[in-house]
Structures are given as C-alpha cells and as structure tokens.
Amino acid sequence: MSEFTGKYKLESSDNFDNFLKELGVNFVMRKMANSSSPTLEITREGNDFTFKSVSAIKTSVTKFTLGVEFEEERLDGKKVKSTFTQEGNKLIQKQLDGAKEVTYIREFDGDSLKAVIILRSQIT
C-alpha cells in the first residue's frame, strides 16, 4: 500500500469555480473558496485515516477507513455518502447525494499531490 500521509499545500486550481457553481455553492462562498490556499494534512493510525484541510476560511476534518462508506457534509452543505478506495498511488473518494456523484482522485508522487475532481449528475 502506498503511503499517503504528509502535508500538502495547494499551489494551483483549474476550473474550481465552475465545479462549485455546479454544486450550487453561492457566489460569496465560491469567491472565498477560490481565494484560499488550503493545506491538506493526512495522518494514519492503523487502517484509519484523517484528512485535515486548513485555510484562512475554514478548517475541516474527515476521518475514514478505506472501503467503508460514511456520511459527511460536502462544501455545498449537503449530507452525502462518501467512500475512499486506493488504486496504486491514487486515493479515490466518491461522494453520492442521489442527484450528483463527485469523484476526487488524489495522486501522490513523493511529496507532491495532484487532485482531479469529476462531477456527474445522476439520471433517475
């Protein structure tokens, strides 16, 4: 298993405002989110992981175990079902709220982290 622990600083973000807009995040919150440059700290104890995201606007903590679904609150305030899995050096998080599926792919390479977010609307 690849080790995902460490501290990572956001250096750049592409199309994040459009992503937040698609989630329904209001203009003021989007502008605040886009102006922040968070640090992500990942720690591990046994099979349990903790993500701590710290910015000037907000600090959030997410605790999870790979493959175990849990409930969390997304940036838009919605309660979602979330699951983390691993594929090689990638940590993949899927969030489902019934109407939208968000997939976060975090790829680790030494002390760098690349993240891609994919948003899909569910057809019911």
Phi, psi dihedral angles at 76 (to 5 degrees): -85, 5
pLDDT score of 104: 93
* Cα–Cα distance measured from residue 48 to residue 13, given in angstroms and rounded to the nearest whole number: 28
Question: What are the residue boundaries of the structural domains of the chain, listed by start?
Answer: 6-121
pLDDT score of 34: 81
pLDDT band at residue 66 using 50, 70 and 90 as cut-offs: very high
Homologous superfamily in CATH for domain 6-121:
Calycin beta-barrel core domain (2.40.128.20)
pLDDT band at residue 113 using 50, 70 and 90 as cut-offs: confident
